[in-house]
Structure 1
Amino acid sequence: MTSLVLFLGESLLQMVLVLLLAPLFAGWLNIVKALLSNRTPASILQPFRDWSKLLSKETIAPQGSSVLFRWAPPAVFSLLLVSSLLVPVLDTRGKTLVFGDALVLTGIMAFVRVLMALGAIDTGTPFGNLGGRREMMVGFLAEPSTVLVIFTASLFSGSTMTFETADHLRAGSLLPTPSLVFGGLAFLLILLGENARIPIDNPATHLELTMIHEAMLLEYSGPSLALMEWGSAIKLVVYMLLGIGLFFPWGLSGSENPAGLMKAGVSLLLKLLAAGFILGLLETLMAKLRIFRVPEFMTLAFLLAILGFLSHFVLEV
């Protein structure tokens, strides 16, 4: 009983933390992109305001849509929030009753993608069908690369549990190995593709020939749209936390010591600030790829993941 209460308390605190970090990170990313584009940025709290306004509005469902369209947003939001329990946030102890590893996390992300695509196709609109098909294409190309990156990082700890891998790498050398360098580069490309960022997709556009993720959200409104957008922000933060745990775990606490957790919190904020700046810089400097060039981009991620996996045996063993 004590273990269950402890697990529920830890899980609730971590989900609330990720729930708050998601809009703050989205607001910081918008600030970076606005400053780099010589525009006046909005407040870092602007995503909170936008989504709270959507939550107070009425939901309108397209005529002919089924229950799948109506239930996809809360299901997607819930699954993405639960997925945050499978990545280290402040410490590497792991959760008492969580047995899911990074492969389970990949499976949740794949299931979320299928739900979003089916919900978009269920509307019967050309844009929904277009967005759903393109999203599945990107996911089909990104998932093998993600699994290879996970296997590469797990070779150091002998486990695909993200907490154990982060704990093992945290105690190791600060100098990166070739396999982690290749794996980190592959993960960066995967992060851009999985989260519909430039150069794969532009989250700020609604041009029919270029949009992928936004095409699946065109028919949503009110609370449903708020849940989908908030869920997308949570997904981006979860990928950031996964990348930090696998490639930059230094600063994470190895215990539940309050002082160690405070230092880990400061370290996490600094890492997210740096990650937001780098991501905003990349999106400002790069142009969006043509849709037919997207497979080449994701193939590069796959090749880098293979190089990372093989270099562990060739150069490090």
Structure 2
Amino acid sequence: MNAVAGAVQALLVIGGAPLLTGLMRQVRARLEGRAGAGIAQPWRDLRKQFLHKETVRPRGTSEVFRIAPLVLVATSLVVAVVVPFVTTGSAIPPAADLFAVVALLTLGTVALALAGLDTGTAFGGMGASREMTIVALVEPTLLVAIFALSVRVGSTNLSSIVSSTVHDPSRVISPASLLAAVALVVVIIAETGRLPVDNPSTHLELTMVHEAMILEYAGPDLALVELASAMRLSVFLGLLANLFLPWGVATSPDPLSLLIGTGAIVLKVGLLGVALAVGEVFLAKLRLFRVPELLAGSFLLSLLAVASSFFLA
């Protein structure tokens, strides 16, 4: 069942991630009084980039620039396979460990930052510098927040954490879970480049973070980067959903449970995406020098979550 669930999760993330992005854009458009391009527009953009655009790479770039999109997609895909989204089990149990998952996600971010530096442009270097500043504050928070959930379980394996919450739903409303959930929400906003940390729809050079690193990509390379970014957003929202709201996750190997688990994760991720899009309509982008304050606050919340998991158990 775990192998089948892993394959289903991979297909869901690859096929559904662009649709999630399109749904969020459509929600924002409607709330802002615009018609919107439709939920399927990201897939149409990817098809155009893959099939009708040629690959153009800056002169003087190395293999780092060429393989960064592949690394970004590969790490996102591996995480999508191993994290317990549809079932409480994992297709590759050793890789479902908290530290392994965070390392994979960080590897993709670092690869893209190196690609931005490899172009030798001012904007690429600026975006990479900003991204590394954010990552240096985000990754410890991600580790500590999920570690707070693992204290009671006695394991950093994500499958064990989700399974324990399924069998003991009262843990969802514990102080440790609530504090860790708030910290993880801030982490997701920062890691995926959403408002108020970054504006995913901006093209104003002085405020860009993610977009500044990918300005030199075109054609299939750009499509891979955009697909990987959408996949990472889906993975993070799925992780948030199943760590704190694991209802509907399959615990048995029968096909009906697998079908229910698939529908549950699609529904939860969709609702979280809509909530994130609605929140962005009412938020303004923070100044870059205020972002570390926000991330430091989330790190403090994650530390409080760890402390409460020990002392309020």
Q: Note whether the superposition's TM-score is higher than 0.5.
A: yes
1:41 corresponding residue in structure 2: 36
Aligned to 1:138: 134
Shift of 1:123: 0.4
* Paired position in structure 1 for 2:122: 126
Any conservation in 2 of the 1:37–1:284 contact (CA below 8 Å)? yes
Alignment of 1:188-267 (within 5 A): 188-267=185-264
Percent sequence identity over aligned pairs: 38
Q: Displacement, 1:84? A: 1.0
SS of the residue corresponding to residue 160 of structure 1 reads: coil
- Which sections of structure 2, spanning at least 5 residues, go unmatched? none
Higher mean C-alpha deviation, range 7-16 or range 213-222: 7-16
Q: Is the 8 A contact 1:68 1:119 kept in 2?
A: yes
Between stretches 103-112 and 220-229, larger displacement belongs to 103-112
- Return the letter of the residue paired with 1:83: V
Q: Greater CA deviation, 103-112 or 268-277?
A: 268-277
- 1:108-123 equivalences in 2 (<5 Å): 108-123=104-119
Tell me whether 1:299 sits opposite 2:296 in the alignment. yes
Q: Is the 8 A contact 1:162 1:245 kept in 2?
A: no
What does 1:136-215 align with in structure 2 at a 5 Å threshold? Answer: 136-174=132-170, 176-215=173-212
In 2, the alpha carbon distance for the partners of 1:38 and 1:253 equals 40
Structure 1 residues 9-18 or 153-162, which shifts more?
Answer: 9-18
**Deviant stretches of 4+, over 2 Å:** 6-14, 96-100
Q: Distance in 1 between matches of 2:4 and 2:88?
A: 17
- Please tell me whether the aligned partners of residues 68 and 115 of structure 2 are also in contact (alpha carbons under 8 angstroms): yes
**Please, which moves more after superposition, 196-205 or 11-20?**
11-20
Cα pair distance change 1:179/1:97, threshold 3 Å: closer
Structure 1 residue 96, shift from structure 2 partner = 5.4
Work out the CA distance in 2 between the residues paired with 1:7 and 1:275: 25
- 1:88-133 alpha-carbon deviations (Å, 9 max, x no partner): 1211022256444121111111111111011011001100000001
RMSD over aligned CA atoms reads 1.5
State the 1:158 CA deviation.
Answer: 1.4
Report deviation, 1:265: 2.2
Separation in 1, partners of 2:277, 2:6: 30
Aligned-partner SS, 2:207? coil
Gaps of 5+ in 1: 1-5
How many positions carry a matched residue from both structures?
Answer: 311
- Contact 1:93-1:255 at 8 Å conserved across structures: no
C-alpha deviation, 1:269, in angstroms: 2.3
Structure 1 position 64, deviation (Å): 1.2
Aligned partner of 2:79 in structure 1 is 83
Give the one of 16, 21, 25 matched to 2:20.
25
* 1: CA distance, partners of 2:86 / 2:155: 20
Deviation of 1:141 after TM superposition, in Å, equals 0.5
Deviations 1:125-148 (A, max 9, x none): 100000001000000011111111
Does the 8 A contact of 1:86 with 1:101 survive in 2?
no
What is the aligned counterpart of 1:70 among 66, 85, 103? 66
8 Å Cα contact 1:55-1:226 kept in structure 2: yes
Distance in 1 between residues matched to 2:229 and 2:272, nearest whole Å = 17
Q: Distance in 2 between matches of 1:156 and 1:250?
A: 19
Aligned residues of 1:61 and 1:220 also touching (Cα < 8 A): yes
Q: 1:203 is aligned with what amino acid? A: P
Q: Is the 8 A contact 2:56 2:218 kept in 1?
A: yes
Say if 1:96 and 1:291 are closer, same or farther in 2 by CA, change over 3 A: closer
User: Offset of 1:248 from its aligned partner?
Assistant: 0.9
Deviations 1:12-45 (A, max 9, x none): 3321221112111111111111111111122211
Q: Which residue of 2 aligns with 1:286?
A: 283
Amino acid at match of 2:297: L
Q: Calculate the TM-score normalised by the size of structure 1.
A: 0.94
CA contact (8 A) 1:186 1:302 kept: yes
Letter in 2 for 1:166: V
